[in-house]
Structure 1
């Protein structure tokens, strides 16, 4: 991270990843503005751009973590770009994306790719980091189906989950005034099928369920089966899914 102290905007700064990035940047001495609709200091609505000009004034770096699977990320990115142009001080917009957005035709991935293109064509300095799925997301998916009498999971789909803390470390490194463009992807240390991780999750929480591999259809499923969501050449993560589960169990026991 740069030794200079910068003014950094973080969208989605109260979320799973964003909150960790905010902590790291503040610990490094940067002025960090956390944007949300209900923030006391910088109330911003990315859906219509309201409040962005005041929040953006004097900022050098924007860390864009805000996202929603309900749609509208592309509209929000457009408002962010317009406000950054008006501010005239922003030299780097750092965006967190997902490995496979250009090859796995899922609606949410298509929008994430569209946001990448909006940023790349904006004429502003941009840094884009794609990562594989977070451990938390895999646990959330498996946890949801584990409440059923049997646990159905897509057959033949492999994942390469990574610790959100490790991604936050990398994002904090990249949140500097000098943009880096599309940087190397980040993937977790191991690749497993979802059914394997499902069984590991169920064992960890002590829930007896039979994991049922479920064949699906469609282009998105085919994209996952081909491994479009994987980046084995960039398996830079250190924390395995098993270690994630053990840490989560230890934290739960300590409450």
Structure 2
């Protein structure tokens, strides 16, 4: 035991060589310098260095996103105009104006009518046409007016619903298209490991980052499209209810007028 203790006492801790200390300091400096750079994500460089199939997927998603935003702004303007037109015509209609004057204003030359005014114009035109026929009873007059209003209402709603299906398709398909680009990019990254002797995270990280951009672009295209579709579909449904209510009320007015004349 005594020789072992003496050997331990004689053992001294030698300092690191200067080269080893310098190497350690250099590694620490490199790690500190690379840490902020890793947090800087250059989206443009990731897109430009992605494979051709992934770039094609990104291009398709970008075009779909641009088309969606164009439809979103146009549809907002169309639906807002339809609501304003409905409010203005209902105010004129229920203010006690003569229906013949409203019909004459709706049938003026070089004037396009839409919304409730178009429904009123179609119903009153068919009602007047049935009244001019000999032998047409009150039931035929009302059915003709209702048929004309249904056709006009269907035409107006078709115009309001135009391109809404595109937003629905983008919202449901875009995430899967982006996922397709991601899967393809990851496949390319792992296929490239066959030529690498030693695979590390640094080897596959750039390829995976490029591939994940496709998924991000798919979500970027899908989220606004889904939101706009739900919002505008609700607006169209509310306007359709307004059209139906007006058609029923106008039919009641025409029915009372026929009974008074009879």
TM range (shorter): under 0.3
- Structure whose residues are more often strand by fraction: 1
Report 1 or 2 for greater relative contact order, CA contacts < 8 Å, sequence distance ≥ 6. 2
Question: What is the TM-score with the length of structure 1 in the denominator?
Answer: 0.21
Tell me which structure has the larger Cα radius of gyration: 2
What is the TM-score normalised by the length of structure 2? 0.21
Greater percentage in helix: 2
